[in-house]
Structure 1
Amino acid sequence: MVTLADLQVTTLGQPTIPSPLAEYVGGRATNEYYVGEDDRVLFDDTISLVKARGLPLDELPTFEAGGARDRIYFDPATTRAGIVTCGGLCPGLNDVIRAIVFELYEHYGVTDVLGFRNGYAGLVPECGLEPMVLTPESVANIHERGGTVLGSSRGAQEVDVVVDELEARGVNLFFVIGGDGSMRGAHKIAQECLRRGNDIAVVGVPKTIDNDIPHIGQSFGFQTAFSRAAESIKAAKVEAEAALGGVGIVKVMGRHAGFIACYSAIAGHDADFVLIPEVPFDLDGEHGLLAHLHRRVAERGHAVIVVAEGAGQQHCETSGATDPSGNAVLGDIGILLRERIRADFSGRGEPVNVRYFDPGYLIRSVPADPVDSVYCARLAQIAVHAAMSGRTDMVVGRRRHRFVNVPIAYVTHRPHSVSPDGDLWLSVLESTSQPHAMRA
């Protein structure tokens, strides 16, 4: 069970420098603008959970509120910042880069910002990737395009080498934009910096298109991703409706968590079946997927299946190989479904026309939509506030409409996934009218 100690953010020392933001807001050093050091956000969200702990108020598990402080740790005139983007692409990466640069330059007066290229590889001298100098002018319009102007890569690098490079480059603030694997790397980097006593603040902006990092609310880019996926589902339905025995299959991202599949299906109410990694299903048998699909097509003339890439792996042949991030290479559940559905209908002597959509790279490479763009900007601003005040080994997130600072170790100790007994999955079942369980 989580405790208050689990949620304590590490600081490099006592902030003593008056914040430049006082001048920016007209000298109003008021509690309305600054976040107090005793401002905490409750971990539990119901009275019953709070009561069940039986703890005094000041011992309840709480998150540190994110935001600007009236005192900062780093002197802007002598501070250099570094930014890196790691892992797969996600809508909003450029928005975060842009917002960090503008917040540092325009509001804190930090005018020395480096962008390390191609993920953590950009901090390994042998790779020969010179960092980019980032200025408000150079990043002014990058949010209008997808991807990341810094480039990215998967896989870890030697922590000692990375920290050596940060020291050699004179970096004081290091912003890591990446998923759970990247955050584990950031944690190791922060711990090594603390061990060396070199005063480098390491702050993460967690990025995962699958929305599978816990305790941060919703990850940036997720809304854009499921919105685009919903468009593919609509197209699949149009195709299926126009064909004799039409079946549309849409495979979306989600190695271990089915959030994109769930949200995109609910968004348009066009899916008949949603398959996610968290809910096992059988293909054969009276209560398996194929039998239910056959009945649905017989009733309506068509059907649409939305499947997360990590669903149904027990039915796929896998090589046992891993990718550079250490993730198991998945079997292609989308192709398997297409072939099994064709064979099943053919074996029944019934017509079927399967339309297969795999929009994964189209989804993750697009620019962020306006709502995600706002979220990216605010996360970036909160990250800069945290770093300038001397916070380290932490990520920024949002809990119940409040931005919070969370220790990296706490967001990487377990994955975030769809609960088969939760209200989101119930909403999917209500939207699709699919059976609660498809097991033979």
Structure 2
Amino acid sequence: MPGSSFKKAEYFMCPSKDYSNMKNVDNASDIEDDMSDRVYTIDSIHSDFFPNLPTYLNPLQNSLAYAIMKQHFVNPKDVVYQKIVTHKNSVRGVHFRRAGPQEKVYLKSDDVRACIMICGGLCPGINTVIREIVCGLNYMYGVDDVLGIEGEYIIFYSRNTITLTPKSVNDIHKRRGTFLCTSRGRYDTKRIVDSIKDRGINQVYIIGGDDTQKGASVIYKEVEKRGLQVSLAGIPKTIDNDITVIEKYFGFNTVVEEAQRAINAAHVEIESIKMVGIVKLMGRYSSFIATYATLASRDVDCCLIPESPFYHEGPGGLFEFIEQRLKENGHMVIVLAEGAGQEHMAERMDDVGMKDALGNKLLLDVGLWISQEIKDHFTKNQKMAINIKYIDPTYMV
């Protein structure tokens, strides 16, 4: 939505079954009595610095192919609960405006100049997303002017753009990687917005993960500050599946399937030779890939994740569990997310906390470290040699 910003609008709801008595307030504290248990919040997008923007009928209403959409346009007042399960007397909680096509739009199709850019690492399905944006804008909304930024934020300063048409993106979903290229690094927000303004761009589609979406938010604030009629749409892209609110991201299922292949390869190896197989999967601070792949595989004996701290020695520790499994089966498979056990490594290796270009802490290689820790423990304490097969399929998935 052009000229939009995020705002929290608060309402209180009567505890009775009849909610027709709903009252809009700017702040919960403005209500004289304590209504905190009946206040819920809406994270809303509204035209704050463009209060009188003209609107136009959605082009979908004139398309025979999408005529059914007339029955399914999203009402601007529709909201979605952040928490699906609530109790009778619990706080109403945060709600979000429901996404989807609405009856009115803020730009005529002929006036739209859109651009698409990608930041961060690779993820299965990026090219499909690019293709669907281009084809959707063209076939559904009649938009012909779409640019592709060949790189990430910093490339916005140059003229590295290509024209995207349904024909040019027709088969890119069959290719691996990304059609538009990508990278990581810092950028100059003001120069990006200068470029957006100079090129006459009024719709920006930004595909990226957590850092990219933070950057998009900063760019939006600069757009708002200048009073530009520009829409920014952030499309979450993260293999780790770790951006709040969205349940599952494009490419996640593919990653889990590929991770299972690595686990299966480890299981075949260790079952034949009687050893410990360790598979390290992506997941800095969240373990969706490791957890889903473990549950789907059924060949995993132990899954180590950053959300659940573990310890090595003593009763109930990792070493004791490994010993028990080896006595029972003669082999075992351990899956670990790359962010698991970082606190143990930092203690034993005097980690200085190095960071990448975006300020994120660089993780140590927990797979190699824990492999050596297991070897050392069983060699010294159990007086037994232990064979380990370590697999890191990071760039395979």
Shorter chain as normaliser: what TM range? 0.7 to 0.9
Pick the aligned partner of 2:123 from 86, 90, 96: 90
Secondary structure of the corresponding residue to residue 41 of structure 1: strand
Which of 172, 192, 198 is equivalent to 1:142? 172
Post-superposition offset of 1:80: 0.4
For 1:333 and 1:141, how far apart are their aligned partners in 2? 39
- Segment of structure 1 superposing worse, 173-182 or 340-349: 340-349
1:20 and 1:93 mapped to 2: Cα distance?
27
Where does residue 195 of structure 1 map in the other structure? Answer: 225
User: Which residue pairs with 1:301 in the alignment?
Assistant: 330
The residue aligned with 1:224 is 254
Q: 2:339 aligns to what?
A: 310
2:181 aligned residue (137, 141, 151): 151
Query: Does 9-18 or 291-300 show the bigger shift?
Result: 9-18
Contact 2:61 2:70 in 1 (8 A): no
For residue 63 of structure 1, the aligned residue among 93, 96, 107 is 96
Q: 2:318 aligns with which of 284, 289, 308?
A: 289
The SS at the match of 1:136 is coil
Cα-to-partner distance string for 1:56-93 (whole Å, 9 max, x where unaligned): xxxx6422111111111011102100111111111111
Of the three residues 374, 387, 395, the one matched with 1:341 is: 374
Structure 1 segments, 4+ long, off by >3 Å, are: 1-6, 10-15, 25-31
Alignment of 1:30-179 (within 5 A): 31-48=70-87, 51-53=89-91, 61-125=94-158, 130-179=160-209
Structure 2 unaligned regions, length at least 5: 1-7, 11-39
Counterpart secondary structure, 2:396: helix
**Greater relative contact order: 1 or 2 (C-alpha under 8 angstroms, separation 6 or more)?**
1
Evaluate the alpha carbon distance shift between residue 30 and residue 301 of structure 1 in structure 2; reply closer, same or farther with a 3 A threshold. Answer: closer
Kindly tell me the number of residue pairs found equivalent between the two proteins. Answer: 353
Query: Corresponding residue for 1:355?
Result: 389
Identity %: 39
Distance 2:90 2:313 in 1: 45
Cα pair distance change 1:2/1:292, threshold 3 Å: farther
Contact 2:281 2:289 survives alignment (8 Å) = yes
Q: Amino acid of the residue matched to residue 62 of structure 2? A: E
Distance 1:27 1:228 in 2: 36
- Alpha-carbon contact 1:15-1:71 (below 8 Å) kept: no
Q: Which amino acid in the other structure matches residue 263 of structure 1?
A: Y
Mapped pair 1:181 → 2:211: yes
2: distance between equivalents of 1:33 and 1:249?
49
Q: Equivalents in 1 of 2:68, 2:365: separation in Å?
A: 57
Offset from partner CA, 1:197-240 (integer Å, 9 cap, x none): 11010110111111111111112221111121111111111111
TM-score normalised over the length of structure 2:
0.84
**Are 1:88 and 1:154, in contact at CA under 8 Å, matched by a contact in 2?**
yes
Cα separation, partners in 2 of 1:242 and 1:165, compared to 1, 3 Å: same
> For the residues of structure 2 that align with 1:61 and 1:344, how far apart are their CA atoms?
49
Decide whether aligned partners of structure 1 residues 30 and 218 sit closer, same or farther in structure 2, where only a CA change above 3 A counts.
closer
TM-score by length of 1: 0.76
Do the aligned residues in 2 keep the contact of 1:114 with 1:132 (CA within 8 Å)?
Answer: yes
Aligned match for 2:301, one of 262, 272, 275: 272
Sort the Cα spacing of 1:41 and 1:115 in 2 relative to 1 into closer, same or farther, 3 A: same
Q: 2:46 aligns with which of 10, 20, 34?
A: 10
Cα shift readout 1:396-425 (whole Å, capped 9, x = no counterpart):
xxxxxxxxxxxxxxxxxxxxxxxxxxxxxx
**Shift of the alpha carbon at 1:285?**
2.5
Contact 2:9 2:44 in 1 (8 A): no
Contact 2:42 2:96 in 1 (8 A): no
1:63 is aligned with what amino acid?
F
Rg (Cα) greater in structure: 2
Provide the secondary structure at the position in 2 that maps to 1:186: helix
- The answer to whether 1:262 aligns with 2:291 is yes
Give 3-state SS (helix, strand or coil) of 2:122's partner: coil
Structure richer in helix, relative to its length: 1
CA contact (8 A) 2:60 2:69 kept: no
Q: What runs of 5+ residues in structure 1 fail to find an aligned partner?
A: 364-440
Offset, 1:159: 0.8
